[in-house]
Amino acid sequence: MTRTGIARILAAFAGLMGAAGVALAAMAAHLPDAARLGSASSMLLFHAAAVLAVLALTGRRVLHDRIGLAASCAMVIGVLLFAGDLTLRQFAGYSLFPMAAPTGGTLLIASWLVVALAAAWPPRAP
């Protein structure tokens, strides 16, 4: 798959993450005892915008392309683990797997460090 194809898939995931974030925010506002949904919503919304920003900076050659795409992939996986686990706990009463949310959170922290690396690493010549 080409880098453009990967970027398009990541942008589509960012759109889905944004939509899910808004939906969970609405549920958190209307359901009793839904603090987990508020946290899941925030992570989805923040990281949807971050994925789009990293893709834009990668496309503008501000960030190293492969490293920027890797950071975006890690953000998507991390937020899906984190928000997915919190949402599943809220509605089903159990988690994706033991330590899913902390694993997702750790992956999100690592992805931000990879963004820093992508900024520091010189982009390749076109």
Show Cβ contacts of residue 12 under 8 Å, excluding neighbours closer than 6 positions: none
How does pLDDT run along the chain (126 residues), one tens digit per residue? 899 999 999 999 999 999 999 999 999 999 998 989 999 999 999 999 999 999 999 999 999 999 999 999 999 999 999 999 999 999 999 999 999 999 999 999 999 999 999 999 977 666
The pTM assigned to this predicted structure is: 0.93
Q: Exposed, middle or buried: residue 11 (CB in 10 Å: 0-12, 13-18, 19+)?
A: middle
Q: Please report where in the chains the tokens 């992939």 appear, as a residue.
A: 73
pLDDT value at residue 1: 86
Nearest-10 Cα torsion for 108, 5, 18, 75: 0
What's the rounded Cα separation, in Å, for the pair 47 and 50? 5
pLDDT value at residue 122: 77
What's the rounded Cα separation, in Å, for the pair 20 and 15? 9
pLDDT value at residue 71: 98
